[in-house]
Structure 1
Amino acid sequence: MALPDPRASRAVLIGVHDYRQLDPLPGVQLGARRLAKLLRDPQVWGLPRHNVTLLHAQASAHEVLEAVRNAGETATDTLIVYFAGHGLRDRGGEQLYLALADADEEHLEIGTLAYPTLRRVITGAGRHASHHITVLDCCYSGLAVSMGGDVPVVDRPSLARLLDEQEEEEEEEDGTGKEGDYGSCVLTSAARTERSFTPRGRYPDFTGELIHVLEHGISEAGPTLSIDDIWRRVRLRLQRRDLALPQQFGHNAAARRPWVHNRAHHAPRPEPTTKPAAPPAATRSVTPSATPSVTPAALSAAERPSQAPASSGTPDLRRPESPGQAESREATQPTAGRGNPKQPASTTAWPRPDRSSSNASPRPMLRRRTFVMVGAVITALGGMSAGILATRDKSNGDEDPTDIGGPEFTGQKPTSPQPTPTPTPNTRSAPEVQALDALTGHPDKVSSVAFSPDGKLLATSSSDTLRLWHVGTRKQFGKPLTDPTGVISSLAFSPDGKLLASSSFGQVVQLWDVNTRTQGKPLTGYAEAVLSVAFSPDGKLLAASDARGDASASAYAASLWDVATRKQLGKPLIGHTVPVWSVAFSPDGKLLATGSNDETVLLWDVTTHNQQGKPLTGHTGSVSSVAFSPDGKLLATGSWDGTARLWDVTTHKQLGKPLTGHTGSVSSVAFSPDGKLLATGSKDQTVLLWDVTSHRRLGKPVTGHTGSVLSVTFSPDGKLLATGSADRTVRLWQLK
């Protein structure tokens, strides 16, 4: 079946990242821009530029509704409306408000757009469009389905799918069934009682995974992807990261209609005369060091695009829930314990606190969920305002066949229990870690910490301010410095300690004179956020990671600057397909490492600006942090997949197994000055110390923070460890 006609379709994208009274969400702007670019990409869909409306962050409710109305009145095929930003709800928890720039959570009538109002404009102005697709990435977005306008007509095939019956749908020649000529679909980033999150310097969780699937496709799928195909893959990837699970609500067959091209699809090769026997679906052989070979028989039902799930008699404890299961869980389980109770319940936070999963027995839960789902269907048939959820996933295999990692959050394939390794003579004893004073007073999450080269000062960044602290006295040095361009993402001292560089979401790099505490000439020219900065060992160069896409391709870069002249040197180092989160120079200044959301690390020759060797691959999540060992022989990487890894810089090969132990994403890695220790900070609110030689964890987790640990760094003498956290504090730890 052909894709929706781009010429007869329209898209309106609203990404609100800059709020006057609520927390800023810089990643929302990046996500909305990237989605707009992908929708215009002929390899994805190919909407004409004038058919895509990307509203500015300060748009009023009137401007939003007017843009949706104009798009709806001209769309005759598909109308897409996307919103990302803060989501608010009334005191009764029954109504969803989309927060615009002037939103006030104490007075919901001010600066917001009530979802029913938006829905009425979509269905009214877009009455000539055969399909409506609404995507909501905000807190409590699941409320949208219970507020009217999204109640589907329950056709027999949909009812059969909900009840897991083997009902054959009537099909037209295009294979979509009679209900495929019109319909609507709503995708939400979370259930009605759950919050959505935007990690520091990154796309919102849900939008980021949606972008990933559109950019990279699904290798085992056909030439096109439906909303349902995309939703299943996005949901699976979010479940592995222990994040809020997206919901899907469909009217007729809108979700199963082909929507975009599958970038991962390759034309099938001619089949051999004799076909080898396909292995049973429950049997899957995986080589730990390589991506598994995938056959259709080996794919889980959750991953078979546009097909009804295969049934299984034995429930799997780890399998992804369907929207119906998630909603019934919301209705039957108390909300206490979900998310971080110390986090405000009405706002979207940067790093999302970790969430414990239910340990309830699966079989009784399945019966209860099935009962709730059937009840919902019966209620809808009786004329009540109940939303029909997407197909319940009854697969007993939740692995992603394109990914060597299994369902565990750490990305490691489940195996039989391994014996505890016997300590080798090279294994050092665990250092004694003593907590010192916490540095408080930050207005928001502490995004970055950095020691001066002499170890006397500590720089910290939070929101749009940076602070300098006397390490010895733990007292703040002068007043906070404010970056007028926006939220600060990263800090770095120059080797002589005279300059402090800060990158920001305001598309500039600031250079501060440490002695005079004055701002010098900034490095400008960026189209989007600057996410990371690093000085070369001689202090002559500055590297900055760039969230700017190359105008001629879907590529992202790092750039090199001459510190003395404030001029960019040569062309950007372009090689990643998505934003670069972290940069680091080798100790000799000859190499630059870049870690990206595309799950790879690239090494660059600083002189020639050429990529050195092949990408370092193996992580199954975004690479959030990179660091060279003091001798330059090793590279450490931290990732959203919950692991850290060590690499041989010369051979580009991973050394040993991944360093596992965190229960959340690894946000920062740092070597001790002697190169013997590696510290890793995580969203699980802990820091782990590792013996670099043996790859063994040393001692117990370092605890004390009540929020995600976003940044870690050693003092130059190796006696102190500084950690910055989402709990708005910096802690100093003494190592003995």
Structure 2
Amino acid sequence: MSVLPDPGASRAVLIGTSRFDYLEQLPAVSNNLTALAELLTSPISLRMPALNVTLVENPLNPAAVLDPLRQAAAEATDTLIVYYAGHGLIDPHDALALALPHSQLGRVETSLTYDWLRQILLDSPAQRHIVLLDCCYSGRALGRMSASPGLADQAAVEGTFLLAASAETQTALAPVGDTHTAFTGALLETLRHGIPGGPPLLDLETIYRHLRLTLESRSQPVPQARNRNTGARVALGRNHADLPAAPALPSAAADPQPEHRVWPDPALIRTVTGFLTNLAAVREISGLTQQEVSRRSARRISTGTISKLTNRDTLPANWNTTAVYLSACGVHDDQIQQWNKIWQELRHDTPEVRKTNADPPENATVERRKAWRSFSALWRGSHRPGTTGADAPEGRG
């Protein structure tokens, strides 16, 4: 069964090198990073909080990659996503190395050895690992997964899925003038528009097969994949080609829950963020407008209440409103009970809820939040260096 990660308990580290001192420039890589980060944080994909997605662009040395990766790996308890785009090199041991701005051919110490990245994933408490490599010779990383002890063999529960843009002896492609590299461009298209006739959730196995067909039809390098312990069942988003094209009609005969609908599974929710993002996804899956949900609730909840419920950033204080909303969207009673169980667990586990009676005046709380947000913005700014584009290359390594 395909599963969507809890965005609050997941982390993504997106690494890319577009500027080089000694290798061809890859300006499309900068576009890759921006687009993929926006997608992972949007309703189109996983709805991850922006603070859970770290961009590492044009890192000057391996430590600039490994330090933020190590932090994200330690924080992730559900899913850890690691993406690299740039030049792929082959080190003296015939293994994959990831190029950095100062990388030089024949000087392995100027690049990031893939095995260093792999070791951090081995130490992560995340239940699932997703590795996306958009570089030449990226297929060489597939063999590293099966080494002993293997990356996927060490995964805690769901496992690991590694998706490589090319085979171990082939180059990847950055078409001249294109906004994105060939592999990442096709991946973005798939997640944005979905797969007609595909399953409700775009799991990695489905994405991989679709990318193979798409890129092969374009005479572009065909991606490779390796799966361990059901990692292929991890989804990167819902199939938007499968969702209702228009809101359901307010007809008595309208079925709010067609058999092929796959509602968010409350059992997979671990955080308040996961609860809220899945709550918002329920209406999207139902195909109903806010007005229609209100009508189906016999006007017990207004459109304004629905908007606040699905766009809030704290756990709902009142369960009854949530229950009415889920029922009006078409969720079955037994699953609503599961939602209620998770809601109660999160209320018990969330410090803000436990300490309600001990909270200082509201203005003090607001000031603390402002200070924290300012600190977070400064911290992320220091880990997201800017970049400028360069002339489009004719090929890539």
TM-score by length of structure 2 reads 0.59
Aligned residue in 1 for 2:70: 69
How much identity, in percent, do the aligned residues show? 38
Which residues in structure 2 correspond to 1:432-447 (within 5 Å)?
none
Letter in 2 for 1:107: R
Query: What are the Cα deviations for residues 293-314 of structure 1, in whole angstroms up to 9, with x where unaligned?
Result: xxx9xxxxxxxxxxxxxxxxxx
Instruction: Measure how far apart 1:224 and its partner are.
Output: 1.4
Letter in 2 for 1:195: T
Query: What are the Cα deviations for residues 433-456 of structure 1, in whole angstroms up to 9, with x where unaligned?
Result: xxxxxxxxxxxxxxxxxxxxxxxx
Query: Structure 2 regions of 5+ residues with no counterpart?
Result: 250-259, 261-387
Which residues in structure 2 correspond to 1:537-616 (within 5 Å)?
none
Instruction: Measure how far apart 1:257 and its partner are.
Output: 3.0
Q: Which has the higher contact order (CA 8 A, sep 6+)?
A: 2
Which residues in structure 2 correspond to 1:684-703 (within 5 Å)?
none
Among 171, 177, 199, the residue aligned to 2:175: 199
Aligned residue in 2 for 1:114: 113
The whole-number CA distance in structure 1 between the counterparts of 2:236 and 2:64 is 27
Query: What are the Cα deviations for residues 496-515 of structure 1, in whole angstroms up to 9, with x where unaligned?
Result: xxxxxxxxx9xxxxxxxxxx
Is residue 134 of structure 2 the alignment partner of residue 129 of structure 1?
no
The whole-number CA distance in structure 2 between the counterparts of 1:486 and 1:120 is 32
Q: Retained in 2: the 8 A contact 1:180–1:254?
A: no
Instruction: Measure how far apart 1:487 and its partner are.
Output: 3.3
Q: Retained in 1: the 8 A contact 2:40–2:46?
A: yes
SS of the residue 1:250 aligns to: strand
CA 238–129 in structure 1, closer or farther in 2 if over 3 Å, else same:
same
Aligned residue in 2 for 1:225: 202
Is residue 254 of structure 2 the alignment partner of residue 253 of structure 1?
no
Q: Retained in 2: the 8 A contact 1:58–1:101?
A: yes
Aligned residue in 2 for 1:185: 161
Instruction: Measure how far apart 1:47 and its partner are.
Output: 0.4
Aligned residue in 2 for 1:14: 15
Instruction: Measure how far apart 1:32 and its partner are.
Output: 1.4
Instruction: Measure how far apart 1:205 and its partner are.
Output: 1.0
Q: Retained in 1: the 8 A contact 2:22–2:104?
A: yes
Is residue 394 of structure 2 the alignment partner of residue 487 of structure 1?
no
Q: Retained in 2: the 8 A contact 1:87–1:140?
A: yes
Aligned residue in 2 for 1:213: 190
Q: Retained in 1: the 8 A contact 2:3–2:233?
A: no
Aligned residue in 2 for 1:36: 37
The whole-number CA distance in structure 1 between the counterparts of 2:75 and 2:17 is 25
Which residues in structure 2 correspond to 1:516-527 (within 5 Å)?
none
CA 226–27 in structure 1, closer or farther in 2 if over 3 Å, else same:
same
Q: Retained in 1: the 8 A contact 2:62–2:112?
A: yes
Letter in 2 for 1:29: S
Query: What are the Cα deviations for residues 56-102 of structure 1, in whole angstroms up to 9, with x where unaligned?
Result: 2134210100111100111010000000000000356x211100111
Is residue 81 of structure 2 the alignment partner of residue 104 of structure 1?
no
CA 250–262 in structure 1, closer or farther in 2 if over 3 Å, else same:
same
Instruction: Measure how far apart 1:208 and its partner are.
Output: 0.9
SS of the residue 2:20 aligns to: coil
The whole-number CA distance in structure 2 between the counterparts of 1:180 and 1:108 is 32
CA 81–152 in structure 1, closer or farther in 2 if over 3 Å, else same:
closer
Could you say which structure has the higher strand fraction?
Answer: 1
Aligned residue in 2 for 1:86: 87
Could you say which structure has the higher helix fraction?
Answer: 2
Aligned residue in 1 for 2:366: none
The whole-number CA distance in structure 1 between the counterparts of 2:72 and 2:151 is 23
Which structure's CA Rg is the greater one? 1
Is residue 139 of structure 2 the alignment partner of residue 142 of structure 1?
yes
Instruction: Measure how far apart 1:258 and its partner are.
Output: 3.1
Which residues in structure 2 correspond to 1:609-624 (within 5 Å)?
none
The whole-number CA distance in structure 1 between the counterparts of 2:60 and 2:95 is 22
Instruction: Measure how far apart 1:261 and its partner are.
Output: 1.6
Letter in 2 for 1:109: E
Q: Retained in 2: the 8 A contact 1:26–1:201?
A: no
SS of the residue 2:176 aligns to: coil
Query: What are the Cα deviations for residues 341-385 of structure 1, in whole angstroms up to 9, with x where unaligned?
Result: xxxxxxxxxxxxxxxxxxxxxxxxxxxxxxxxxxxxxxxxxxxxx
Instruction: Measure how far apart 1:2 and its partner are.
Output: 4.9
- RMSD, aligned CA: 2.8
Q: Retained in 1: the 8 A contact 2:13–2:55?
A: yes
Q: Retained in 2: the 8 A contact 1:219–1:264?
A: yes
Query: What are the Cα deviations for residues 564-609 of structure 1, in whole angstroms up to 9, with x where unaligned?
Result: xxxxxxxxxxxxxxxxxxxxxxxxxxxxxxxxxxxxxxxxxxxxxx
Instruction: Measure how far apart 1:188 and its partner are.
Output: 0.5
Instruction: Measure how far apart 1:222 and its partner are.
Output: 3.1
The whole-number CA distance in structure 2 between the counterparts of 1:234 and 1:180 is 27
Letter in 2 for 1:33: T
Q: Retained in 2: the 8 A contact 1:145–1:151?
A: no
The whole-number CA distance in structure 2 between the counterparts of 1:67 and 1:152 is 22
The whole-number CA distance in structure 2 between the counterparts of 1:266 and 1:95 is 42
Q: Retained in 2: the 8 A contact 1:131–1:183?
A: yes
Query: Structure 1 regions of 5+ residues with no counterpart?
Result: 155-178, 271-295, 297-484, 490-504, 506-707, 709-725, 727-736
Q: Retained in 1: the 8 A contact 2:13–2:81?
A: yes
Which residues in structure 2 correspond to 1:48-67 (within 5 Å)?
48-67=49-68
Letter in 2 for 1:137: D
Which residues in structure 2 correspond to 1:264-283 (within 5 Å)?
264-267=241-244
Letter in 2 for 1:86: H
Aligned residues: 252
Query: What are the Cα deviations for residues 710-734 of structure 1, in whole angstroms up to 9, with x where unaligned?
Result: xxxxxxxxxxxxxxxx8xxxxxxxx
Q: Retained in 2: the 8 A contact 1:141–1:192?
A: yes
